[in-house]
Structure 1
Amino acid sequence: MISKNSTSFEDALTKTGFGKFNILAFVVSLTLVMGMTFEVVSVAYLVPASACDMGTTTAQQGLMAGVPLLGIIATSHFQGYMADTRGRRKVLGWSMCVAFVCGSCAALSPNWIVFCFLKFLSSGALAGTIPLTLTWLSECTPQHKRSILISLTSAMYLVTAGFMAVVAIPVLQLKFSIYVPYFNIFFTSWRLLNLLFASGCAVAAICMFSSHESPRYYLRMGKDEKAMNVLREMFATNLGKSAEEYDVLSVELGEETGAPTKGMFSSIVAQTLPLLKAPLLKNTILLGVLFIIAYAGINAFIVWLPFIADSIMKARERGEVMSFCEMMESTQNATLTENNDCSLNTFALLIVCGSSLAIGVLNIVLSTVINYVGRKRMVIAIQVIAGLAGLCVNATNSWILGTGCLIVYISANVNFGFISTFSVDIFPTYVKAMAVCLTLMIGRASSFVGINVLKNLLVTDCQLAFYIFSSITLTGACVALLLPNDVKMTKKDSAEAMSS
């Protein structure tokens, strides 16, 4: 309950206004997502580009591409606990530092095993980046702007993935080889690209340590004065007024904060158990299933998109004009008889870039209308359209139409952000970061399976791949029907706000 002399956190946050402070927090969030994307998605470019240098087989390349997900799965739960008990700012900042060090060292890997180990460490450090960033940003943003900023931040993942292709094209075409005697390796273009991708984490760490902790987290930890100081600074920065003019004297969360525990293991258990029993269990299961469907059905195609685009363009260079899947299988058969070529087709990378940027723009457009359409309706519509587009890849004999359908299919990637907005809303503060990390961890575990299954199917039975993964995506639309109807909730909240 909120006493008469206290203001609810949401009301206190609304009174700080929306302005420069929120824009800067949004920019910091973008750098965090960008740094994470550079490091985790880098394997999509580094694995095929390093194949000749490291002499890796197809099976080894599959493991190298999946290692970042294993790292994320291994530490997601722990990072959620750390963020809920040690603070969002501290965990995000130090995670970026560790990722930068390990990711940079991967550029000096003498073999694929060392590369996998270092990428496992760097991705493990970044396990909670997106959920913790969204949590931190949501707790610093007034409710009426929250969904839009969270969705736009999620779009940064897609925009960055597209920008990575722009960076990779000129760097991978550089022809140099510098022998490094201590490591017994030749420093070539793919290693330079690795360093460039890792540098994004360093930029993000600097930005995060220059920011404030979430005022909501401070309240949860009983540090009311620190929370008030942050709220006052937000007020002064946004509205250009003196901090003393902020008329809120005290703030209360007005929600359960959880019982204190001693010891790290007991604390982790205490943070997790509420998610596994009523009333939060149904939300944990629902969002966990949605993330499983989203990651298993869509993310696997995102990881292998450079490989898919490269295969199609190489078939096109040979003058083969067939259906999408026939061109995929033709390229894989050709590699068995032709010389080993580890280069990536430049035009293929441009397609990857254009596709990712187009989806990023789509995310921005959808984010601007999400409050009018409703998140639930948006999630369902996207899953249905994407699933049908995936099935249509097999329904056309034109590789051009097939490619267009594939792009529409992977555009369902925008649902990662929309589903995440439900996560940050329906869980209480004391388990919010843990809940978001746990549900995302479940989804990413399914993605690791999807990545390895998809690669094999693309080579052996391309059409079956689209039937299976498109069906999974359509199933997501049915599950999304169980999400809370945020449109009605928004109207109700607005009516209450007007009457108060």
Structure 2
Amino acid sequence: MVHKNLEDERGREEKAVFIENLGTANFEEAISATKFGRFNLLLILIAIPAGFSSVFEATTMSYVFPAAQCDLGLDLNNKGLLNAITYIGMMSSGLIWGYLCDTLGRKKLLYIGFFIDALFVITSSLSQTFTVLMISKFFGGFIINGPFAALTTYVSEFHCAKYRARVQMVLGIIFSSATVCLPLLAQFILPVDINFTILNNLRIHSWNVYLLVTALPALLAGLIFIFLPESPKFLMTTGKNDEALAVFQMVYSMNTGKPGNTFPITKLIDERKNNEHDLNNRNSNKMGGERHAFKDGWSALRPLFIPPLLQNILLVCGLQMLIMLSLNTLRLWIPQLFQAINDYEYYNNGTSADLCTMLDVIRPSNETLSKECVVNTNNSQVYINSMIIAAVTVFGYIVAGSLINILGKKRLLFILGTMGGLSAYILYFASSTAMTLILASCYVTVGSIGVNVMLSVVVDLFPTTLRTMTVSMAMMCGRLGAMSGNLLFPILLKTGCAAPFYTIGTVMLSTAFISLFLPNTDMKALQ
């Protein structure tokens, strides 16, 4: 009898909710009604400095090594640690930033995060020792993890399902464009003979100036995001439907040129009633604001660690770790590899050789033979090769953007993983600089696309209240892989030439197989 009464009461509540929501729009209907137009294009333009700062934080050391190795006394292990330390910082802050973003909002973390990141990049540019530089890069990585995850979620939540996967590919193009700019900046700044002192004991060289310039995108991004609206999806999830509707109206007005009050939707569904946790959220908002939101935020994480989301979180985290281990290990060492090739050809009158022979230049036995540290500044070809790889990656994103909805994310991930693994295997047999360049371009392109396809899968698989947290967890695992790979690469390189290339090739091939177990998420609406 009691059970029947409970069922009747539950039925009445569900009917009341249905009647109340009749004639209202959910998020997907509302964001679709805003159309695609000027606001979306403006958002993509604004994502450029934001995306650049994320890439700059993790990649600048690759170009600094050849110029700074004498000033800072860097050996092969130091270089591996400097490549890894940024990812250690990112990994240590993954859950913190994801939690803050899902409880306090996207916008606030975007502008605060980019401003703080700029501060640490400026600090790294003034480094005089390996230790100071390493600490600065650690905290830079610790901070940039938040804005990166928030940016991915923020941009996705201003687009409907039709455009969401393609926008992730556009973000990939932005990230790849940043990798074009880095060697371009390096070519103009690093070969210049800069040597002066400020504040009595701070010696400034070309690599210090290079790092200082890379702080500009983060400063610009932080300033711009102050003036942007909060994500309407986040506002709806936290019960601020009036504010969300105002954002929809503003976006609609910008996209169509019509007044905001002509937006066809006048009422939004109360998403909190679809989630048991949201009932607690409402009480928290009444009782004590952000402090209660923090407390409730932690309890909201539980669904990630129980079925049905448990299987999904294990899959996406495992895949992201393997993809970023293989990709970012080779990607961050490519400038150093091309520097070794350039040095070999420079000191052998332009004579080329197979890749393994040319890599002997950076092997420890050769490092110890040189009593005087000399920097070869005649390295334009190193930067040109890096720009070619980045340009090929941008082109790859353009192609992938048109293929992702045709092939589907699972099939595309399988193809990318297979191509990447085979490219790494064949790279070991490269017999010339040109062949090395072609294979490295293929590898970095398919790996970079794979990372962003995985992020679009994460956005589709998990509900809004857990989305940024899940992105952060996936990226934290990815950065664990990147950190491990960069610490391991110098060790493998010391044992011989084959080990590093076979290792990363095997890891990339394994991602192709594991991707087959992913659920099909193509064209899925945000929940």
TM-score bracket for this pair, using the shorter chain length: over 0.9
Match of 1:302 in 2: 331
Match of 1:246 among 259, 263, 277: 263
- For 2:66 and 2:362, the matched residues in 1 are separated by 15
Match of 1:225 among 234, 242, 246: 242
Partner amino acid, structure 1, of 2:423:
A
Does residue 354 of the first structure (1) align with residue 388 of the second (2)? Answer: yes
Please identify the structure whose Cα radius of gyration is greater.
2
Q: CA deviation at 1:267?
A: 4.3
- Does the CA contact (< 8 Å) of 1:33 and 1:129 recur in 2? no
396 and 150 in structure 1: CA distance in 2 versus 1, 3 angstrom threshold: closer
Q: CA deviation at 1:404?
A: 2.0
Q: Which runs of 5+ in 2 are unaligned?
A: 1-16, 285-290
Partner amino acid, structure 2, of 1:234:
V
Say which SS state the counterpart of residue 178 (structure 1) adopts. Answer: strand
Matches within 5 A, 1:260-271: 260=281, 266-267=295-296, 269-271=298-300
- Does the CA contact (< 8 Å) of 1:97 and 1:202 recur in 2? yes
Match of 1:193 in 2: 210
Match of 1:341 among 367, 374, 378: 374
Q: Deviations over 1:423-451 (max 9, x none)?
A: 11110011110011011101111110101
Q: Deviations over 1:103-139 (max 9, x none)?
A: 1122222312112212222221111233221110111
- For 1:217 and 1:465, the matched residues in 2 are separated by 43
Task: Give the TM-score normalised by structure 1.
Answer: 0.93
Say which SS state the counterpart of residue 203 (structure 2) adopts. Answer: strand
- For 1:456 and 1:304, the matched residues in 2 are separated by 13
- For 2:250 and 2:293, the matched residues in 1 are separated by 33
- Does the CA contact (< 8 Å) of 2:39 and 2:254 recur in 1? yes
Does residue 423 of the first structure (1) align with residue 455 of the second (2)? Answer: no
Partner amino acid, structure 2, of 1:141:
H
Partner amino acid, structure 1, of 2:213:
L
Q: Deviations over 1:297-342 (max 9, x none)?
A: 1111111111011111222222443321222124535443344223
Q: CA deviation at 1:296?
A: 0.8
Say which SS state the counterpart of residue 140 (structure 2) adopts. Answer: helix
358 and 46 in structure 1: CA distance in 2 versus 1, 3 angstrom threshold: same
Q: CA deviation at 1:198?
A: 1.0
What is the percentage of aligned positions where both structures have the same residue?
Answer: 22
Q: CA deviation at 1:68?
A: 0.9
- Does the CA contact (< 8 Å) of 1:387 and 1:471 recur in 2? yes
Match of 2:313 among 280, 284, 292: 284
Say which SS state the counterpart of residue 194 (structure 2) adopts. Answer: coil
Q: CA deviation at 1:253?
A: 6.5
Partner amino acid, structure 1, of 2:421:
G
- Does the CA contact (< 8 Å) of 2:66 and 2:339 recur in 1? no
- For 2:382 and 2:495, the matched residues in 1 are separated by 21
Match of 2:423 among 380, 389, 396: 389
Say which SS state the counterpart of residue 342 (structure 1) adopts. Answer: coil
- Does the CA contact (< 8 Å) of 2:458 and 2:470 recur in 1? yes
- For 1:169 and 1:90, the matched residues in 2 are separated by 36
Match of 2:403 in 1: 369
Partner amino acid, structure 1, of 2:222:
A
Q: Deviations over 1:65-108 (max 9, x none)?
A: 22111111111111101111111011011000001112112222
Match of 1:460 in 2: 495
Q: Which runs of 5+ in 1 are unaligned?
A: 494-500
Partner amino acid, structure 1, of 2:440:
L
Q: CA deviation at 1:357?
A: 1.6
- For 1:156 and 1:253, the matched residues in 2 are separated by 35
- Does the CA contact (< 8 Å) of 2:125 and 2:211 recur in 1? yes
Match of 2:178 in 1: 160
- For 1:50 and 1:208, the matched residues in 2 are separated by 34
145 and 49 in structure 1: CA distance in 2 versus 1, 3 angstrom threshold: same
Match of 2:252 in 1: 235
Say which SS state the counterpart of residue 126 (structure 1) adopts. Answer: helix
- For 1:137 and 1:439, the matched residues in 2 are separated by 18
Q: Deviations over 1:144-190 (max 9, x none)?
A: 111111111122112101210000111112112111244x2311111
Match of 2:287 in 1: none
123 and 394 in structure 1: CA distance in 2 versus 1, 3 angstrom threshold: closer
The size of the alignment, in residue pairs, is 489
Partner amino acid, structure 1, of 2:325:
A
Q: Deviations over 1:469-498 (max 9, x none)?
A: 1011000001000122345x67xx9xxxxx
- Does the CA contact (< 8 Å) of 1:329 and 1:460 recur in 2? no
Does residue 105 of the first structure (1) align with residue 123 of the second (2)? Answer: yes
- For 1:145 and 1:221, the matched residues in 2 are separated by 24
Q: CA deviation at 1:49?
A: 2.0
268 and 463 in structure 1: CA distance in 2 versus 1, 3 angstrom threshold: farther
Task: Give the TM-score normalised by structure 2.
Answer: 0.88
Match of 1:449 in 2: 484
- For 2:426 and 2:85, the matched residues in 1 are separated by 31
Does residue 313 of the first structure (1) align with residue 342 of the second (2)? Answer: yes
Aligned-residue CA RMSD in angstroms? 2.0
